[in-house]
Structure 1
């Protein structure tokens, strides 16, 4: 029996001998492992954002967020898993970093040579509900004359302008009245010299 047409016994079908496979492209880690968990927690403990910690550990922020969501759902339902442990570790790491900043701020308060403004700002950004004072409402724009810009129709504009002009004229005339009044004359003596 003869070999099939096109068959070369020196080059059998299949993978050529001695040739390596094409490199396998790796993507972000999709499974939460202990190694990945410890890498993420270590980065968060040093002050990295979740996005930075995920990237440095070899995954994405979306995966990290998904693992945290799964952990919180498991905690709410009373279950324990790697994800619940992960949530606890992430929150602990973030709290430890914030505690270090609070310690720096307190030290800056005691020691007047230190500048704690950076740590206070960072705390205000990290946890604004815990570390910022609510601001008072801003003063009204337009120096008490109403808003600076208002969308109105031409007829409304004309009516408002007429009202403001009439008010201004009334106030102006009221202020001018005492100045324009003739001075009171003194009563003359009836006997004359």
Structure 2
């Protein structure tokens, strides 16, 4: 008869490990409480150039929780209060500003060094913050969710199509008529020569 899987006859059987209270470890998820360790890890990752989503994941939490903590911190700052959340807002903004400043310094160095390709630096600055983005004009109203297209009633579309077709046909007939006008004139000249 064989032994159970994992049984080692040389290893003594000990007491089974004690079970911890609370949720089993296999169900652990992102941290939902802001701690100093999470705060410093988020700031460190942002300083290295990570996005907020990446920094939150590397710190052991989710982007949703990080944004919620930042919102709470901004609300506390507006109310004139100080808390761990206000410190998080200050750390996050400082870390992002330090990273952007390093990009600006690198782009300034690229101006002097013509061998350096600064396209990546300019792109990263453009996506890093709104201050460095060129604002594009919107072609539609903000409330219109259809993009650059406009909604048209079928009757209006049919009327516009008929008008365009009529214009096309008149232009086409004008283009053909000069050829037709030249032919009778040429026949008239031939008749004059015969007389």
TM-score normalised to structure 1 length: 0.67
What is the distance in 2 between the residues matched to 1:133 and 1:60?
30
Aligned equivalents of 2:36 and 2:151: distance in 1? 59
Displacement after TM superposition at 1:42 (Å): 0.9
Looking at structure 1, the residues matched to 150 and 50 of structure 2 have their Cα atoms a distance apart, in angstroms, of 43
Give 1:124 shift. 1.4
- Offset of 1:59 from its aligned partner? 2.1
Secondary structure of the corresponding residue to residue 164 of structure 1: helix
- Give deviations 1:108-156, integer Å, cap 9, x for gaps: 22221000111111111222x3222234679xxxxxxxx9998764896
Q: Given the alignment of the two structures, is residue 71 of structure 1 paired with residue 68 of structure 2, yes or no?
A: no
1:40 and 1:148 map into 2 onto residues whose CA distance is 41
Q: Which moved more, 1:66-75 or 1:27-36?
A: 27-36
The SS at the match of 2:88 is helix
Name the CA shift for 1:173/1:105 in 2 (closer, same or farther; >3 Å): same
What is the aligned partner in structure 2 of residue 173 from structure 1? 173
* 1:112 aligned partner: 114
Question: 2: distance between equivalents of 1:39 and 1:167?
Answer: 67
CA shift for structure 1 position 178: 3.9
Correspondence for 2:53: 51
Tell me which of 79, 82, 86 is aligned to 1:80.
Answer: 82
- Equivalent residues in 2 for 1:16-55, closer than 5 Å: 18-22=15-19, 25=25, 26-55=28-57
Higher relative helix content: 2
**Distance verdict in 2 for CA 1:178–1:148, change over 3 Å:** farther
Counterpart secondary structure, 1:20: coil
The higher radius of gyration belongs to: 1
Q: Which consecutive residues of structure 2, in runs of 5 or more, have no partner in the other structure?
A: 1-13, 140-147
Q: Classify 1:122/1:37 alpha carbon distance in 2 versus 1 (closer, same or farther; 3 Å).
A: same
Aligned positions, number: 160
Q: Who is 2:132 aligned against?
A: 131
* Cα drift, residue 86 of structure 1: 1.2
| CA distance in structure 1 between the aligned counterparts of 2:79 and 2:151, rounded to whole angstroms | 51
Structure 1 residues 137 and 34: CA distance shift in structure 2, 3 A = closer
CA distance, structure 2, for counterparts of residue 104 and residue 122 of structure 1: 11
